[in-house]
Amino acid sequence: MSTVSFADLVADEPEPIASARAHAAEVGCPAIAPAVGTTLAALATAVNARAVVEIGTGAGVSTLWLLAGMRPESVLTSVDSDGEYQRAARAALNDAEIPTQRARLINGSAADVLPRLADGGYDLVFCDAAPGEYPDYLPHLRRVLRSGGILAWHGVLWRDRVADQSARDADTVAWRDLLAALKAEKTLRRAVLPVGDGLLIAVPA
C-alpha cells in the first residue's frame, strides 16, 4: 500500500461524505481525497472556525469535511459558478442532515463574490478552483481572513508538475506565481502538505 493510500485509509470517511464522493464521480466532478478532507476538518477545528469561505463547492465533499470541523453554530459560505455541481452539493448537505442555515451556497464567480465579503470576517478560506485565478484572488483572501486565520489551496502539487521545471502549462505556471506571491508576502508563513494533490496553507505571521 502506498503512503497516499494509507493516509486516505486512516481518514475513515463518514458515510454521508462517501456518498457525496460517489455522487461527485457520477456527475464528473473532481473531489478532494479523504486525507485532504480530514486535514481541512482538523484546520477548521484548530482555528475554532465559526465562519469559513470555500471557493469551489464541487459536489459537496470538501463542504461536508469543512463543516465537520467547524463549531455547531458556524456558517460556511461556498461559491461556485457551476449550478449542477452546487445542486449535487445541496443534495449531499440534505442527505447529511446539515441545517440549511449552516451552509450558504452562492452560484457565481469568486471574482464577483469575494469583493462583497466582510473584512476580517472569516476564520478559514479554502480554494479548490481554477489555479489561473488564484493570484488575482489573493488580495481579497487576505482581506476577508481574520487575524490568526488560515488560507488553504488544494492542488499545489498539480500531479507533480509544479516541481517539474520543464512543465510550463498555464495552470502549472499559475501555481508557481501563487507560491511566489506568498513568498513575497512577508507577513505570511506558508507550508505545503503532501496530502492528496497537495494542500498549500498560509497563516499570518
Q: What is the pTM of this model?
A: 0.95
CB 130 within 8 A of CB 158: no
Mean pLDDT score, 34-44: 97
Query: Does residue 12 surpass a pLDDT of 90?
Result: no
CB 34 within 8 A of CB 61: no
Percent of the chain with pLDDT over 90: 91
Residue 68 phi/psi, 5-degree rounding, is: -65, -30
Q: Tell me, what's the pLDDT at 6?
A: 82
Residue 20 phi/psi, 5-degree rounding, is: -65, -35
Gap between the Cα atoms of 98 and 144, Å rounded: 25
CB 123 within 8 A of CB 40: no
pLDDT tier at 56, thresholds 50, 70, 90:
very high
Q: Tell me, what's the pLDDT at 205?
A: 84
Query: Does residue 1 surpass a pLDDT of 90?
Result: no
Query: Does residue 2 surpass a pLDDT of 80?
Result: no
Mean pLDDT score, 81-108: 96
- Arithmetic mean of pLDDT over the chain: 95
Nearest in space to 54 (alpha carbons), one of 80, 30, 19: 80
Gap between the Cα atoms of 174 and 138, Å rounded: 12
Judged on CB neighbours under 10 Å (0-12, 13-18, 19+), 133 is middle
Question: Which grid coordinates are listed for 51?
Answer: 465562519
| Sequence-ordered list of residues with C-beta below 8 angstroms from that of 78, at least 6 positions apart, any chain | 53, 54, 57, 63, 86, 89, 103, 104, 105, 106
Q: How far is CA 45 from CA 49, 134, 187, 190, in A?
A: 6, 25, 23, 19
Query: Does residue 39 surpass a pLDDT of 90?
Result: yes
Q: What is the CATH number of domain 3-204?
A: 3.40.50.150
Mean pLDDT score, 197-202: 97
Q: Tell me, what's the pLDDT at 141?
A: 96
pLDDT tens per residue, range 152-198: 999 999 999 999 999 999 999 999 999 999 999 989 999 999 999 99
Residue recorded with cell 461524505: 17
Q: Tell me, what's the pLDDT at 7?
A: 82
Mean pLDDT score, 30-50: 97
